[in-house]
Structures are given as structure tokens and as C-alpha cells.
Amino acid sequence: MIGSTDPNLGIPCSSKAADRSKPKRLYQVWKGANRFFCGGRLIFGPDVASLFLSTLLIAGPGIGFCLKIHYKIKEDDDDYGRRFAHHVVWYSIMAVGAFLTILDLMFLFVTSSRDPGIVPRNSKPPELDEAFDVTTPSMEWVNGRTPHLKLPRTKDVLVNGHMVKVKYCDTCLLYRPPRVSHCSICNNCVQRFDHHCPWVGQCIGIRNYRFFFMFISTSTILCLYVFTFSWIIIIQGKGDDILKAMGNDFLSDFLIVYCFVVIWFVGGLTVFHSYLICTNQTTYENFRYRYDKKENPYSKGIIKNLKETFLSKIPPSMNDFRSLVQESEPMVVESMTSNPEGGIMNLKEKIDIEMGAKLAEENGFRLPEILRNLDYDGVDDNLKSRDEEGRISFDPYFSAEQDEAILHVQSSVVEDDTKTDKKVDEGSISIPSTTTQL
């Protein structure tokens, strides 16, 4: 009806329909947890705020190092000839430090603002013919939006002569291609998923792994550079006592301690990812599948692995976040959810129960905990079997012992009724019929 309103929200239905019919940019209706800037041109993770902390941890010591060298040049009291050559050397050292700092920040920003290789979601589960064209020994099945269609949880794919299992993603409604994994933080399936880096605030995947490695390796070089020249500044300080020189130069002391601590972290990451690149592994694969203990189906040799990481062409993004799309109607995904008792509860039923509990609490009536955890599965089946077979169906909310007790009582009642009927029948035969004569 025109002009009708939504009873729950109080919003005119016509205006809601008009909003849905109006095309929007893909990034405006994106179902992942990403955050977009500059009209969808820059994509970040949900924890993009950590990018500012990482920037401060890099830029702060870099600026402090450049300022220290500038003050050292000003404090030089040698003659003009030596001072000029001395200045050239230290200005060059300062320029290299500033360049490494800027380069490190650039790699950080590119890694964080780039699409890591997000796989587009499906609006519906795979088709029927595709679902049955699967060779898998898996006994787990997935019920999607079509209850009559059963999808195997995993299926086998041949990769470089090795059989690899790929899993079905309940969120993206697709079978994840090899080396694709779903990030629970960004809520996206990512190609060649490595890990979600909290310092970068983004997933690390096939499209930004190269820049991530350059970021951590540049951070390692920068820490070594600042650590080394901070020691040189202290050693060349006034006085022959190093401890006394360190007591008079707090900025150099801070840079030495800071770089010594950080280098263990970024240096260790650089060494670890260098090993992963040479063996063509990801962090996720290394911890989950342990390819160091078994054959890796993706390894092509050290040289080819290095070429694949640094010299291969980066694949284009599979999503055009600035494209115009039509906002679809909200849909309910009826996936099967296991309850703590081992039964299966439909997601829609689970939502109905939770909403009922919420409404009861809002009205001042708190639903008991036992009623929230009831398992309603199989009730309809029991009732149906009773109607068709004529047997006694047990209440699913009783235990096995209670069921046996009920069976015994009901059997006793049936036997007593049978005996009573039998006695009555025998008595009716032995008693002669009498008639009253008038």
C-alpha cells in the first residue's frame, strides 16, 4: 500500500523501496568489515586505527635520529676545511636515515590501503549440478538457502599433481580456491591468505604480501642503521669515558635501547618470511599444514619461488569497489547450527527463539535458561511416527530412564485394562439372561 509504514521502524515502505532501487557503489553495500576512504579507492581493515600507532613508532625515532645528527653538526668546532667535509658526511648519513624512514612509511601505507586479494561473495550457494559433481570422502554436509540441496563440506582439487582439500565457506557461499582462507577479522575470503597483521590493520594476501615483506625488511634495515650510528655518535662524543658520554646524550641512549628492542621483532619477522618465500609457504599454511614436515604442493624451487614473489605480475583486484550495483533485499541464510546437546537447529529457528527471549525480557519476564537451551529437533518426527505407526512416542525432553519408566507404567496400564476386559467378557458369558414377566 502506498504510504504504509514499517511497524517496527516507523519508516515509510515507499521510501525504503526507493532507497533500495537507487544504485549504490559497491563499497557502500560491502558486507565485509573493511573501511573505505576516498570514494572506495582506498580499502583498509576494521582495525585501521593501529596504522597511526605504527606510523608514530616509525616516524618518531626517524625524526629523532635526524635531529640528533643536525645538532651534532652544529656542535662541531673544527676548522672550516675539516668541518665542511665532516658536514657532508653527516648530512649524507642524515639523508639516508630520512630516506629509509619515508620509504618504510610508504610501504606501510601501501600494504594497509591495498586490496589484499578479496574473493567476491556469492549471492546464492553453488548450483545443483556443481554440487553433485564432487568426489570427496567427507561425511559432513552443508545446508544452504535451498534445504533440498546438500553440499559436501570439503572437496578434493588437484594441484601440481597433489590432491588438496578445499572447504566450503558458509559466509561467502563458495568453495574456497586453493590457498584461499577466510579472515574472521575482515570477514572476507582472501587469495593466498598469509595472516591478518594488527600493526598494518589489514589482511596480508596475494596483492600486498610483496609490500608487506618490503615493509618489515626496510624496518629492520632502518633499526640497524639508527642503532649503529647512534653508537658512533656516543663513541665520538666528548670525553674518553663511554658511560659518561652516554649520561650526557639521552636521545642517543633512547634510540639505542628502542632499536635494540624493536630489531628482535622486525628482524625475526624478516628472517621468518624470507624462509616462507624460499619455500613458497604462507604463515597460515606453515602453522596449519606444517609443510616443513611434509611435501609442499606449491613449492617450485628457491629461484622460482623468489621470482613468483618479487618478479611476477600482481593480479588485478577481483572487485571494482566503485562500480554501481543494485542493493539486494535482505535474505535469511538457513544454515544448520549445532546446539550444545548435539542436535541441529535451523538458524531461523534460533533467531526466533533468541528474539522471543529478548522480547520477554523487555516486558519484564525473564525466560528461564532451561527454556532457551531446549532441543526442539525431532518433535515433529516423533509425532509423525506416532500417527503413522500407532506406537507410543517418547517425549524428547525426558531422559532415557524416564522414558523406560513411562513405558513400564503404560505397559502395566494396558495389561490391567486387557485383563479387566477379559474378565468382563467371561462374566457376561456365565451370567444367564433373565427376563421380567408381567
User: Whole-angstrom Cα distance, residue 137 to residue 129?
Assistant: 18
DSSP for 288-305, written as a single string: HT-TTSS--TT---HHHH
Helical ranges in 236-288 per DSSP H: 242-247, 250-279, 283-288
- List, in order, residues 6 or more apart from 31 with CB less than 8 Å away: 121, 187
Q: Which of 216, 252, 233 is nearest to 90 (CA)?
A: 233
Eight-class DSSP state of 121: P
Q: Could you say which DSSP state residue 313 is in?
A: P
**Measured distance CA(223)–CA(212) in Å, rounded:** 17
| Distance separating alpha carbons of residues 277 and 262, to the nearest angstrom | 22
Do residues 101 and 255 make contact, with C-beta atoms less than 8 angstroms apart? no
Please check whether residue 354 is in contact with residue 347, taking contact to mean a CB–CB distance below 8 angstroms: no
Q: What is the largest CA-CA distance in the chain?
A: 159
- Which residue type occupies 163? M
Give the 3-state secondary structure of residue 378.
coil
Q: Note if 278 is an active site residue.
A: no
Alpha-carbon span 300 to 298, nearest angstrom: 6
For residue 233, CA distances in Å to 99, 113, 117, 190, 227 come to 20, 37, 45, 46, 10
Which residue's C-alpha cell is 600482481? 314
Q: Which of the following is catalytic: 172, 183, 197, 223?
A: 197
- Return all residues near 53 (Cβ < 8 A) that are at least 6 apart: 199
Q: Which residues of 217-243 are buried (b: 16+ CB within 10 A; e: fewer)?
A: bbbbebbebbbebbbebbeebeeeeee
Rounded distance between C-alpha atoms, residue 377 and residue 207, angstroms: 45
What residues are annotated to the active site?
Answer: 197
